[in-house]
C-alpha cells in the first residue's frame, strides 16, 4: 500500500546554484546534504510539507544520474512513493507485468529499502518506491560522517594546491628567488 509521496527528485549540475531557486527564492529550508556512494550523487533534502524535494548532483561521471544529466539536462528525475511493504508492492507490480529496474529492493539514502520502476512501465516517469527500515538512523549517521570526511579531505587537497600555487609565485617558475 502506498502511504504518501516521499519526494520528487530533481537533477542539478551544481547544488549551490540550485539553492538560489529552491532555498533563497522559493523559501524551502535545507534539511541536510548526504553523499550516496553507490549512486554517485550528493543529495540535498528540502522538506516541503510531508514530502521532500531532493536535489541530486552527480559526483561520479559514470553514474546513472550523471548520464541522465548529460543526456536530458537538469530537471525532474523521479517521483518516490513511501510504501508499507516494498516486497509486496514489487510482487504486485510483477503480477501486473510492470517492467522493474530493481527486481529486489536495495538500500538507499538513510538505510531505506528502495526499488525503481522502469519508465516504460509507468507511462514515461521514473518511479522509486521506498520502505523505512529500523536501521535508517544509524545508516544516515554513517553517511553523514563519510560526507564530512570527504569534505575534509577535499579541503586539505584544495589548501595544498593553493599553498603550492603561492609558493610557485614566491620562488618563481625555476625555484629562483
pLDDT tens track for 147-156: 677 777 767 7
Asked, for residue 20, whether it belongs to a domain, the answer is yes
pLDDT tens track for 113-134: 999 999 999 999 999 999 987 7
Asked, for residue 156, whether it belongs to a domain, the answer is no
E strands in 12-154: 32-36, 41-48, 51-58, 75-83, 106-107, 113-117, 127-131
Asked, for residue 46, whether it belongs to a domain, the answer is yes
Q: What is the CATH number of the domain that holds 92?
A: 3.10.180.10
Asked, for residue 38, whether it belongs to a domain, the answer is yes
Asked, for residue 104, whether it belongs to a domain, the answer is yes
pLDDT tens track for 16-51: 999 999 999 999 999 888 888 888 999 999 999 999
Residue 80 has pLDDT above 70, yes or no: yes
Asked, for residue 119, whether it belongs to a domain, the answer is yes
Distance between CA 61 and CA 67 in Å, rounded? 7
Asked, for residue 27, whether it belongs to a domain, the answer is yes
The total domain count for the chain is: 1
3-state secondary structure of 67: helix
Angle (CA) 127 106 100, round 5°: 40
**Range(s) of the domain holding residue 96:** 2-135
Asked, for residue 32, whether it belongs to a domain, the answer is yes
Element (H, E) at 85: none
Amino acid at each position: 500500500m502506498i502511504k504518501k509521496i516521499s519526494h520528487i527528485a530533481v537533477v542539478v549540475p551544481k547544488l549551490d546554484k540550485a539553492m538560489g531557486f529552491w532555498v533563497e527564492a522559493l523559501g524551502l529550508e535545507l534539511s541536510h546534504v548526504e553523499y550516496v556512494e553507490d549512486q554517485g550523487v550528493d543529495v540535498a533534502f528540502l522538506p516541503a510539507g510531508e514530502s521532500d524535494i531532493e536535489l541530486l548532483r552527480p559526483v561520479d561521471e559514470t553514474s546513472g544520474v550523471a548520464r541522465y544529466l548529460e543526456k536530458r539536462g537538469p530537471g525532474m528525475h523521479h517521483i518516490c512513493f513511501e510504501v508499507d511493504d516494498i516486497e509486496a508492492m514489487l510482487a504486485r507490480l510483477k503480477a501486473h507485468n510492470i517492467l522493474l529496474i530493481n527486481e529486489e529492493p536495495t538500500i538507499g539514502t538513510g538505510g531505506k529499502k528502495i526499488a525503481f520502476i522502469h519508465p516504460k512501465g509507468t507511462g514515461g516517469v521514473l518511479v522509486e518506491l521506498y520502505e523505512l527500515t529500523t536501521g535508517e538512523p544509524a545508516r544516515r549517521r554513517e553517511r553523514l560522517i563519510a560526507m564530512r570526511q570527504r569534505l575534509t579531505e577535499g579541503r586539505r587537497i584544495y589548501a595544498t594546491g593553493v599553498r603550492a600555487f603561492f609558493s610557485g609565485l614566491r620562488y618563481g617558475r625555476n625555484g629562483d628567488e
